[in-house]
Each structure stands twice: as C-alpha cells, then as structure tokens.
Amino acid sequence: MTRKLALSFLTCLGAAPEEAVRAAAAAGYDHVGLRMLPAAPNGLAFPLMDDPGRVRDLAALMKDEGISVFDMEIVRIGPTFEVEPLRPFLDCTARLGAKTILVAGDDPDEARLTASYVAFCEAAARFGLTADLEFMPQSDLRDLAAALRVLRAAGQPNQGVIVDALHVSRAGVSPAEIAAIPPQWLHYAQICDAPAAVPTGRDALNFTARHDRLLPGEGGIDLAAIFAALPSDLPVAVEIPNDRQSAGHSPAQWAKRARDASLAVLSEKRAERVA
C-alpha cells in the first residue's frame, strides 16, 4: 500500500491555507494540515470558521488541486477547558473534510485533563473526527506513557495518539513502547529530524519544534527504529519548520524538499521491512 503524506502546517509556517494547498499540490502531497486555532496566545492561526465564504472557496480550490485536509490544529486542553466554544471550529473542520484534530495536554491534573479530553472526543465524534493527543516534553503531557494513561482511562472510540519523531526523541520513548501502542489508536505519525542533543528548558524545546527541525537524514534521531515500529501504511505528516534552510525558498519549493527527504527515509525503512 502506498503511504499517504500530508504537508503539516508548521512546514510552511506563515503560508495562508490557500497557499499551503497549492504548495502541497505542486510538491506532490496527498493532504495538507491547517491551523485554525493558535498554539499560543496571539500565535499564528487562520480562523476559517469565522469566514464561510473563504471556506467555500478553499474547498473548491482543494477539489481543483486534488488535495484534502488531513489534520487540523490545535486544541489545547488546559485547566479551564470548555468544549462549547469549539463547536464552530469542529463544524468548519468537518466541512473542510479533515480526518483528525491535533490535541495538546496543558493541564497538570491528569484526571481533569482526561475528563476534558473525553468531553472533546464526544464532541468531535459527532462530526466524524478523531482527536489525537500529541505528547511533548514541554507540555503537561510529557511522554507516551502519560498519553497512553489518558487514553486507557478515556476509552473513546475516536481517540488516538500522535507519534512525532521529534517528541519521541526528546521524551526518550523507545521503539518497543511505540510498537506496543494499540493500532486502533494510531491515525498518523509526524516525521522530521533534529540534532541528537536534547535542548534543556521549555523555550529551547519549543524553538526547535517550531523553527529549527531538520530534514530527515540530516540529524541524529533514529528514524529507522521509530518508523519500523509503526504500521507501514500509517499516514505521515511531514512537519519540518526550519527558518534557516527554508529562507529563500517558496512554500512549494521547501515543501518539495521536505517531501523528498522524508520519502527517501521512509522508502529505506520499507525496504528494510521487506528484506
């Protein structure tokens, strides 16, 4: 089976949804990821749910370009989380044909985080969407073990966990832990590379994650082990923001470099499985 690739929002950070769709199509991707809610206060996002006309035009553009939305960002579950304000976001996400929503855990109270996550899963299910937790060492959901505890307690049919190569490396998650994830909880993974040395402190971790990831094969992450532990047909989102290397490139040019480097690594892993 041919592996499907999505162009993540962060790879072409700053590109408007329409530009991202065109870049994904020109670079040969199957899908695109969009961000309608900011990752941090006053952070960059494109609130399409506030502009129905733009949503209609974007849907038409995606049809013309042969590109669909895979993942939508980003829902952050903090101590005061409420589902109701997210209804327009969920409705718009479904109208654009997305499959899943990226969810971050920002509540140090795991029981409360789990309850909020259950409420969000229930709301997302009404729109046919999965809700995929992304563990990050710079968040309150620090590693895969924490994410799996939440999932086991939540018990929702549309729940999932994202295996992001960067966070796997930074959180010290082993290939054996990845291989043990129940397959029904895996909807996609994210690929990138980074230096082997792990930054210290939340700001440094966030900077690498948002501005300084490397093309696959250029860093020290054991991508071979990570992707060997995952299903060979699992969709992969190419998430490689790099302010330095992408400078001077159009979104389509950088998207293609990121796709080519990712495919080279993923093809090697597929060959190793076959052998």
pLDDT digits (tens, 9 = 90+) for 69-123: 999 999 999 999 999 999 999 999 999 999 999 999 999 999 999 999 999 999 9
| Interatomic CA distance for residues 93 and 99, integer angstroms | 8
CA distance 101 to 76: 11
Q: Are residues 75 and 101 in contact, defined by beta-carbon separation less than 8 angstroms?
A: yes
* Spatial distance between the Cα atoms of 11 and 15, rounded to a whole number of angstroms: 9
In this structure, the strands spanning 68-77 and 130-134 are: unpaired
Report how far residue 21's alpha carbon sits from residue 33's, in angstroms, rounded to the nearest whole number.
9
Task: Name the maximum alpha-carbon separation found in the chain.
Answer: 51
pLDDT of residue 183: 97
Residue 165 predicted with pLDDT over 80: yes
Does the pLDDT of residue 275 top 60, yes or no?
A: no
Whole-model pTM: value is: 0.92
pLDDT at 205 over 90: no
What is the mean predicted confidence (pLDDT) over 228-237? 95
Is domain 5-274 classified as CATH 3.20.20.150? Answer: yes
pLDDT of 1: 43
